[in-house]
Amino acid sequence: MGKILGLTGDEVAAEAMRQINPDVLPAYPITPQTEIVQKFSQFVADGLVSTEMVRVESEHSAMSACIGASASGARAMTATSANGLALMWEICYIAASYRLPIVMPLVNRALSGPINIHCDHSDSMGARDSGWIQLYSENCQEVYDNLIQAIR
């Protein structure tokens, strides 16, 4: 029988990413996605994954690095939320146009107005027509399952 763990959604995403062990993970922390990047960076520091984690200066740069990595054949992932995704929008269209297999966990959060940390789908709906397949999770188990399936 498998292990039963009590984890947050961010921790589950990081754990799934650890098991996936992507080749490259460029990321820039933004609330409430920060915990994914923190936990995964600990996996990198502890040598549990061989992922090249790239610290970038913005979400725009994170998606740009994903495009470069994926276009060269690497398995690339990143993670973001809300305004971070809004900053990536331009590059998300490019990634989809090139049909690059990039996986990006998105922690849904309202876009700032002036500052809103509540869950809603205004961030992902803004990228609705970008050409990305969007999978939504109802609970932490689905977060894990969707990430494992998305990378295949």
* Nearest CA-CA partner of 15 in 5, 24, 25: 5
pLDDT tens-place string over residues 100-144: 999 999 999 988 777 777 888 999 998 999 999 999 999 999 999
- pLDDT exceeds 80 at position 97: yes
The pLDDT score that the predictor gives to residue 119 is 82
Is the previous residue joined to 22 through a cis bond, with omega within 30 degrees of 0?
A: no
pLDDT of amino acid 2: 80
pLDDT reported for residue 111? 87
What is the DSSP secondary-structure string of 104-122?
A: --B---PPPSS---S--SH
Separation in Å, CA 61 to CA 16, 19, 44, 68, 78: 23, 25, 20, 11, 11
Domains and CATH numbers, the chain: 9-150 (3.40.50.970)
| Residue 58 confidence class, pLDDT cut points 50, 70, 90 | very high
